[in-house]
Amino acid sequence: MNSTKKHGKRALVTGGAGLIGSHITDLLVREGWTVRVFDNLEPNTHKRGKPSWLNPDAEFVQGDIRNRDEITAALRDTDVVFHEAAYGGYMPGIAKYVDVNSLGTALMLEVIREENLPIKKIVVASSQAVYSEGAAECPQHGLVFPEVRPVEQLRRGDWTVHCPVCGGETRSVPTPENAPVGGETVYGLTKMDQEKLVLLWGKQAGIPTVALRYSCTYGPRQSIFNPYTGVIAIYCTRLLNDLPPVLYEDGEQTRDFSFVEDIARANLLAAETDKLDGLPVNVGSGKGVTIREVAEQISEALGIRIAPQAKGEFRPGEMRHLASGTARIQAAGYKSQVDLATGIGRYLEWIRAQSDVRDYFSEAETILRAKGIVHSVSK
């Protein structure tokens, strides 16, 4: 740790070897923080072990968030915790999500209290996956919060989000933080646990906390080995292997994408301002883009023209549309800086420099179907 412009602030970045954590680390180091990265190098994400991008000016500690001694040691001499470590995406397990995300977070908080550690703030990575169907607008009833679409409806190939009052068709609008939460997937449920544990514990312990609900995040270093998460990474590896990107539903569902450096900036802001303390806070661009459009943009940028394939499959619990309502974080001074086209370009530049960009998705597809995570419409 020999950065030049130290200002005395010390950070612990859990999951700091991953996509978001490593970019937070780089930004903090540039800003003069002393940074410790704590990461177990989860094999699903880090197939080749320690990644080359670990910042040489940060301390790296390999350890597991579920190990009391390891997390206790890592928390020493820390002012701010950026808690990014998590098990994520649409992976087939159930217990591991609860173990790593829910219990891991609980253990970390317990250690801070038991050891009376002088932590000044915790910023926890939450997700837009905590929302159900997000916010929508009904021509008759205005702003509504529809419930998750029933599996029976999806089986019929009806992807519409209906108004909870009149059953009419709705239009998606940006989802504000006060929309109903709960999590409709195992992952979403455990992100909810993490967020609630940190926020309510922070109030009890008198430690400022912020839960950042990230939108779909992408960028250099996104695991090219993990077929279960990161649609941009998956579509890139599919196309580079001359395979079509697979669209769930009809590909017209929308997501809000954030370039990873924007997410890192949001973390720094959350650490430095007190305007967001005690709150769940959306971080995103505020704009929804269809998944089909994303597939087409990547194919265009790569110059590999293979049309995406919609096979009539869907993932129960997945929301149809989600754009983040970003009024809260904007009021604290945040603005996303990297648009999707620029961000995809940056990602492709990075992926082209990687060797062995294999398609892991084909194999995963079979597993996802067998475990009931991906379903087909009834013929």
Ligand X SMILES: NC(=O)c1ccc[n+]([C@@H]2O[C@H](COP(=O)([O-])OP(=O)(O)OC[C@H]3O[C@@H](n4cnc5c(N)ncnc54)[C@H](O)[C@@H]3O)[C@@H](O)[C@H]2O)c1
Nearer to ligand X by C-beta: 157 or 286?
286
CB-based closest residue to ligand X: 18
Residue 163 partner contact from Zn ion, ligand X, none using kind-dependent CB cut-offs of 5 to 8 Å: Zn ion
What residue 138 binds from ligand X, Zn ion, none (CB within 5 to 8 A, per partner kind)? Zn ion
Which residue among 12, 13, 15, 321 contacts ligand X (CB under 6 A)?
Answer: 15
Q: Does 18 bind ligand X (CB under 6 A)?
A: yes
- Whether 125 contacts 20, CB under 8 Å: yes
Strand residue runs (E) in the chain: 10-14, 34-39, 59-62, 80-83, 121-127, 136-138, 142-144, 171-172, 209-214, 216-218, 246-247, 254-255, 257-259, 279-283, 289-290, 309-310, 313-314, 375-376
270 binds ligand X (CB under 6 A): no
Distance CA 275, CA 34 (A): 24
Verify binding: residue 313, ligand X, rule CB under 6 A: no
Nearer to ligand X, 230 or 245 (CB): 230
Token couple for 187: 């992952």
List, in sequence order, every residue forming a beta bridge with 307; answer none if it has no partner: none
37 binds ligand X (CB under 6 A): no
75 is an interface residue for ligand X by CB under 6 A: no
Query: Which does residue 86 bind out of ligand X, Zn ion, none, counting CB within 5 to 8 angstroms by kind?
Result: ligand X
- Our CB check for Zn ion shows the closer of 115 and 147 to be 147
Q: Which stretch binds ligand X (CB under 6 A): 84-92, 170-178, 246-254, 299-307?
A: 84-92
Q: How far apart are the first and last CA of the chain?
A: 60
Instruction: Output the CA torsion sign for 250, 252, 255, 260.
Output: positive
* Residues contacting residue 352 through CB under 8 Å, at least 6 positions apart: none
Query: Minimal CA–CA distance to 68: which of 127, 96, 110, 23?
Result: 110
The answer to whether 223 contacts ligand X (rule: CB under 6 A) is yes
Q: Which is nearer to Zn ion, 143 or 370 (CB)?
A: 143
CB of 330 to ligand X, least distance (A): 19
When CB distances are held under 5 to 8 angstroms depending on the partner's kind, the choice from ligand X, Zn ion, none that residue 217 binds is: ligand X
Which residues bind to Zn ion, rule: CB under 5 A? 138, 140-141, 163, 165-166, 168
> Torsion over CA of 180, 90, 93 and 122, rounded to 10 degrees?
-60
- Number of neighbours of residue 327 by Cβ within 10 angstroms: 12
195 binds ligand X (CB under 6 A): no
Name the segment binding ligand X (CB under 6 A); options: 10-18, 131-139, 311-319, 337-345: 10-18
Q: How far apart are CA 292 and CA 314, in angstroms?
A: 14
DSSP secondary-structure letter at 150? P
Closest approach, Cβ 184 to Zn ion, in A, equals 21
Residue 4 in contact with residue 29, Cβ under 8 Å?
Answer: no
Q: Does 27 engage in binding with ligand X (CB under 6 A)?
A: no
Residue 232 CA to residue 341 CA, distance in Å, equals 12
Q: Which of residues 153-192 bind ligand X (CB under 6 A)?
A: 191
User: Total binding residues for ligand X by CB under 6 A?
Assistant: 30
Closest to Zn ion by CB, 142 vs 372, is 142
Q: Using CB under 6 A as the criterion, which residues of the chain lie in contact with ligand X when the complex forms?
A: 14-15, 17-21, 39-42, 45-46, 64-66, 84-88, 100, 104, 125, 127, 191, 214, 216-217, 223
